[in-house]
Amino acid sequence: MAKSGKIAVIGDKDSVLAFKAVGAETFSPSGQFETNDLVKKLKDDYAVIFITEDLAEQISDTIDKLKTRAYPAVIPIPAGNGSNGFGMRGIRKDVEKAIGADILFGD
């Protein structure tokens, strides 16, 4: 059941504008609640939602809820000012959930 999907990029203006050039749709919400509403609105229309890490951290509850569905994939990406490690923490959380201990990062 392959269907075509759209890509959304959510983040501050400096970070997401560049993604416009590759054909993704960009959104720049201001504030936590607006971000939350935006993700909820986009979740049925877009297959992949990239969201900058600082915003992802603010609405991690909403993102966790979407984790059990196949689509959309909400993926944190670093913003222009660098990564704050939220994405990596997500991977570590997965490992701990599945294996019961963090065996990948080992620190």
Partner 1 sequence: MARLTVNPTRMELRRLKTRLKTATRGHKLLKDKSDEMVRRFMELIRLNKSLREEIEGEVKEALRSFMLARAVASSEDIEQVLSMPKVRVSIETGTKNIMGVDVPDVNINMPAPEDLLPYAFAGTSSDLDTAVVKLSGLTEKLLRLAEVEKTCNMLADEIEKNRRRVNALEYVMIPQLNETIKYILMKLDENERGNLTRLMKVKSLMEERDAT
What is residue 97's DSSP assignment? Answer: H
User: 5 or 31, CB closer to partner 1?
Assistant: 5
User: 16 or 38, CB closer to partner 1?
Assistant: 16
User: 48 or 58, CB closer to partner 1?
Assistant: 48
- 49, 73 in Cβ contact below 8 A? yes
Q: How far is CA 103 from CA 90, 96, 100, in A?
A: 14, 8, 9
Please report, as ranges, the residues that interact with partner 1 according to CB under 8 A: 1-7, 14-15, 17-24, 47-48, 50, 67-68, 70-71, 73, 75, 77-80, 82-83, 87-88, 90-91, 94-95, 97-99, 104
- 62, 41 in Cβ contact below 8 A? no
